[in-house]
Structure formats: C-alpha cells, structure tokens
Amino acid sequence: MSYLEYNVKRVPTGLSKILYLNWPLILLLMAVASVGFLMLYSVAGGSLEPWAEPQMKRFALGMAAMLTIAMVPIWFWRNMAGLAYGVSILLLLAVEFFGTTGMGATRWIDLGFMRLQPSELTKITLVMILAAYYDWLDIRRTSHPLWVAIPLILILLPTFLVLKQPDLGTAILLVAGGGTVMFLAGVSWWYFGVVIAGVGGLVFAVFASRGTDWQLIKDYQFRRIDTFLDPSSDPLGAGYHITQSKIALGSGGWTGRGFMQGTQSRLNFLPEKHTDFIFTTLAEEFGFLGASSLLVLYGLIILFCFYSAFSNKDRFGSLLTLGIGTTFFLFFAINMSMVMGLAPVVGVPLPMVSYGGSAMLVLLVAFGLTQSAHVHRPRGR
C-alpha cells in the first residue's frame, strides 16, 4: 500500500484530527450553503417554508456526515470504493425497475422517509472507484489499451443507465468527472484526442438522427438544443426558461434589486426558481456584486481542493480530491453557463445552493472523503 512508504506516524489520530481538517474549505462550504438558505428564503416569498428550513436540516445532517467520514482513515474508504461503486450501479438498476417517475424522467427511489437519487451518488462513487483503480494500477501501464478499457467500462456503465432515465445533465457530469480522473492519472493525450473527435462524431450523429427511426435523443432534448442555439425563436414556448432567466439575470445590474425585491422571481416569471434556476434570483436580487461573489466562493473551494490534492502524496487521495473538486466545478460551471445562456438547459443544479436533498448530501459526503484524504495524507519523509 502506497501510504506505507510515507511516514504515517505523523498522521494525526483520535480527536486531534479535527485540528487537521481543511477548515477553510469547511467555512467556504458553509458560506455557500448560507447563500443557498438566503435565496431559498427569498424565493419562498420571505418564508422558511417550504424550502429553506428542510435545506438547513439537510445541511446539518450533511455536515455531520462529512465530519464523520473525515474522521475515518482514507485507506478504509479506498477499500470501500469497489463496494460503493457496485452498490450505486445496483441502485441505478433498481431505479430502472422500481423508480418513481416525475417530470418525464425516472430518477428516484422512494425510500419512504426520503427520495434517493442514485445518479447523484454515482457521481462520487465513480470518482472513488477510478481513483482506487489508478492507485492500484502500475503507472507504467496507465496508457495501455487494456488498462484504459477497464475505466472506460466503469464510466460508461452508469452513464448508460443514467441516460436511460433520462438525465443528460448527470450523464455529462459522469463522463466529464470520470474523464478528469483518467486525465489526471496520466492516460495518454492521444486517447483524449480520439475521444474528443469521437464526441464530435457522436454529436453529428445525434443531429443526423433527428426525425429518423433511430433518433438517439428525445424530442425535448432536441428542443432544448434548438432553444439554446436561438432562445428568442420561441420566447413563450421552449425558449421561455432561458429567455426569462436571462432577463432576470441581466436586470439585476451592478447591485441588484435588493433582497426579496426581484420582480422576475417574485412574479413567477422564473421557472424552477428554487432548483436549477436559483442563481438567477441571486443575480437579480444582488446584482453583479452578489453573483460574482458567489463565483469567487466557488473558485476558492476549487482552489483549496487543488491545494489539498497537490500537497497530498497519496495517489488515491490526490486523485479523489481532484476528481471531486472537478465534479463540483462542473456542477456550478454548467449550471451558471446554462442560466446565462452559454450552454443548453440540461438540468444541473447549483451545488450547495439549489434545493434538493440528495445532491447536497452526496456533495457533503464527497467533501467528507476529501477531508479524510486531507487529514490522513502522508506528510513528508
């Protein structure tokens, strides 16, 4: 085991681990979550119900989970990676057969006390299994075709299951997150070149399939692409979301309309204002200053993840931290691009801010893993 080659005696033990947590990261997460509570309180018309309070409870739960996970040595989690991945694949299959359908997609398993969204979980377990895989793999074999095929299968299996739900946003995140870990692990540039070319070809095929018997994606997905390319073509129909979202965002100006003063969200012009489009409410009410502050907070979270990863000599911990950081980055980058009209609407929430239990819990669990990697990182020789 690679950590044995380091001086593990300097790894903290017992409750003293708390002192070695990546505290700036925790504080940043709390700050971002607070922004979320504030916005959920605002979009509910100045009420803790129905969104802000459940969200706070989940955050508390998630923080507890994060700290608990952080206390457990990282090698335990590495050993759990295979199991976690297996469980999440099973859960995805369960969704396929027993899932709850909502808004044209089957994404949840109703557990009674909460609705579990296995695709959220998969984003993390995929990063875990890949990090563990490359930790195990001889680095000289990283670019060998056989050893490249295995992680590809690991990525594509859940991606396929998620696409069937269908959930394009998560599928993109899975591929991008998995690809990132492969890239960091040192897989040859060539493969990425080939994949990018392949994706290009696939996009072409998708468009070519439109209207034919073998149409590859659903009509609504085509419409989303159409309206992304030209939202004004159908401002009250399919382009409504993005047009209204841009209006809300743009009308915020420098300093915004003030807390709870956003007319767009107040008057329900904004769709899904408490979930995917919550950023527009923030931008409308707090303007450029508020929106760019959130961007800075997110940027700092990524920065601390990278710092933690670079200072970690453990291959698993380092890959895991970067993979999770990048997944987190993809979350907010795609969401913001989406609401600002830079990307099609694919249904990716704003991490730690959008209302939603599964996503927040999973993210905090993921950050718990990075904390564990941070606390238990090998320190020098």
Partner 1 sequence: MKRSPKDTEASARKITRRGLVLGGLQAGMLGVLGWRMRQMQVEQADEFRLLAEENRINMRLIAPARGLIFDRNGIPVAENTQNYRVVIVREDAGDVDTVIDRLRQLIYLDPDELERSLREMQRRSPFVPVTLTDQRSWEDIATVAVNAPALPGIFPDVGLTRHYPLGPDFSHIVGYVGPVSDYDLNRIEDNDPLLQIPKFQIGKTGVENKYERDLRGKAGSKRIEVNAAGRVMRELGRDNGVPGSDLQLTVDTNLQNFVEARLMLEESAAAVVMDPRSGDLLAIGSAPTFDPNKFVRGISSADYAELTENKYRPLANKSVQGAYPPGSTFKMMVALAALESGISSEETAYCPGFTKVGDRRFHCWKRGGHGYVNLEKSLQQSCDVYYYEMAQKIGVDKIAEVARRFGFGERFDIPMSAVTGGIMPDKQWKRERYGKDWLVGDSLNASIGQGFVLASPLQLAVMTARLASGNAIMPRLVKSIDGIETEIVGASPLGFNENHLRLVRKGMYAVANTRRGTGYSVRIDADGHKLAGKSGTSQVRNITAAERARGVTSNSDLPWERRDHALFVAFAPFENPTHAAAVVVEHGGGGSSVAGPLARDVLLYAMYGGMPPIEAYPSYQRGKIREMQAKLVLRDSAASPGRDRA
- Tell me the C-alpha to C-alpha distance, in Å, between residue 23 and each of 17, 229, 319, 368, 372: 11, 42, 20, 12, 12
Handedness of CA 41, 44, 49, 52 (dihedral sign): negative
Burial (Cβ within 10 Å: 0-12, 13-18, ≥19) of residue 4: exposed
309 interacts with partner 1 by CB under 8 A? yes
Sole binder of partner 1 in the list 106, 122, 244, 370 (CB under 8 A): 244
22 interacts with partner 1 by CB under 8 A? no
275 interacts with partner 1 by CB under 8 A? no
Say how many CA atoms lie within 13 Å of 350 toward its Cβ: 32
| CA atoms of 218 and 225, how far apart (whole Å) | 11
DSSP, res 256: -
Least distance to partner 1, CB of residue 288, Å = 4
5 interacts with partner 1 by CB under 8 A? yes
CA-closest candidate to residue 68, choices 131, 17, 136, 125: 17
Nearer to partner 1, 103 or 236 (CB): 236
CA-closest candidate to residue 73, choices 376, 378, 380, 379: 376
Least distance to partner 1, CB of residue 162, Å = 23
7 interacts with partner 1 by CB under 8 A? no
**Helices 118-136/145-163 angle, 10° precision:** 180
155 interacts with partner 1 by CB under 8 A? no
Sole binder of partner 1 in the list 20, 37, 147, 183 (CB under 8 A): 183
Q: Which of residues 48-77 bind partner 1 (CB under 8 A)?
A: none
Least distance to partner 1, CB of residue 40, Å = 19
| Binding positions for partner 1, rule: CB under 8 A | 2, 5, 136, 138-140, 180, 183-186, 244, 246-254, 263-264, 267-270, 283, 287-288, 291-292, 295, 298-299, 302, 306, 309-310, 313, 315, 318-319, 322, 326, 329, 333, 336-337, 340, 342
